[in-house]
Amino acid sequence: MTSQLMVRSVPPFRVPGTTEVPGASGPLEAAARELLDDVELGRARALEPRPRQDFLAGRLALRRLAAELLGVPPADLRAAYDCPQCGPGSPHGRPVYTLHGVPAPLLLSLSRSAGWVLLAAVPDPAPGLRLGVDVQDPAGTDFAGFDELVLGPAERGSLRSLAGPELLAGRARLWARKEAWLKLCGTGLRTAPDSVEVLEHPGIRDLPPAESGLPAHFAAAVALAAGGQPAGSGGSASS
């Protein structure tokens, strides 16, 4: 059976089930206190107001999507994020929920950029399957030294003829692909981004706006692989 990927985007501060409007934190904070776990709320309290709202919006949207796919109330889920370095129970890492003490049969991934939230889910995943998703606003790549910090030699070469908005769009595409793969691997930015070449990586694909629901200028990518290999591939995935 082929595992079914689901992708959903949430506009800035528009969390399903709330009437949140940009700049108004009340309903968002109230929903968070009602639905999120202590470990999630503790992490939120350590953030400045705007990053805190982005964080809460993302966690609420992810929880509501998981509950929808499982057919249960969001309050029945318990966050059990799993960081390969810190272990289970961390406030960060791979998103995992438990239902009545049992891990929910879902793969989940979340990304945020410019207030938008991008979610990906695979219900009833095949054993060993892993998932990562990422979204990038090209404006975030507009700084000196980006190419040297983030890109490998072949990737830098692929952008050499570009300039202006086209260059930023090309950078954002590669950055989203890298982040999606590193989330799948569970290492995040503990792995040097320039060490991972993603131009033709078989485990990663771009998400067009029609599929992601994001603004057309955003770059988004999803990585789906089994045991560190691209799903459906028998060869080794580069990392």
**pLDDT tens column, 185-203:** 887 777 889 999 999 898 9
Q: What is the DSSP letter of 145?
A: T
For residues 139 and 206, state if they share a domain.
yes
Q: Is residue 237 part of a domain?
A: no
Indicate the range of 7-16, 25-34, 131-140 predicted with least confidence.
7-16
For residues 202 and 133, state if they share a domain.
yes
Whether the predicted pLDDT of 21 surpasses 70: no
Quote the pTM value. Answer: 0.86
Q: 21 or 147, which is more confident? A: 147
For residues 12 and 88, state if they share a domain.
yes
For residues 115 and 132, state if they share a domain.
no
* Average pLDDT, rounded, for the chain: 87
For residues 151 and 65, state if they share a domain.
no
Residue 71 belongs to domain spanning: 1-126
What band does 228 get if pLDDT is binned at 50, 70 and 90? Answer: low
For residues 154 and 185, state if they share a domain.
yes
Q: Is residue 236 part of a domain?
A: no
* Residue 234 confidence (pLDDT): 32
Into how many domains does the chain fold?
A: 2
* Nearest partner of 106 among 146, 72, 57, 144, judged by Cα: 72
* Residue 158 confidence (pLDDT): 97
**CA 173/CA 165 separation, integer angstroms:** 12
Whether the predicted pLDDT of 143 surpasses 80: yes
Whether the predicted pLDDT of 36 surpasses 90: yes
Whether the predicted pLDDT of 237 surpasses 50: no
For residues 115 and 155, state if they share a domain.
no
Q: In what order do the strands lie in the sheet with 6-10?
A: 6-10, 116-123, 106-113
**pLDDT tens column, 55-84:** 999 999 999 999 999 999 999 999 988 776
- Asked which of 73, 97, 126 is the last residue of a domain, the reply is 126
CATH for 12: 3.90.470.20
- Asked which of 126, 153, 180 is the last residue of a domain, the reply is 126
**pLDDT tens column, 149-198:** 999 999 999 999 999 999 999 999 999 999 999 999 887 777 889 999 99
For residues 117 and 164, state if they share a domain.
no
Q: Is residue 117 part of a domain?
A: yes
For residues 114 and 163, state if they share a domain.
no
Residue that is written with structure tokens 């506009």 in the block? 11
Asked if 91 and 81 count as a contact pair (C-beta separation under 8 A), the reply is yes
Please state the φ and ψ torsions of residue 195, each to the nearest 5 degrees. Answer: -90, -5
Residue that is written with structure tokens 């590669």 in the block? 174
Whether the predicted pLDDT of 24 surpasses 70: no
Strand partners of residue 120: 7, 109
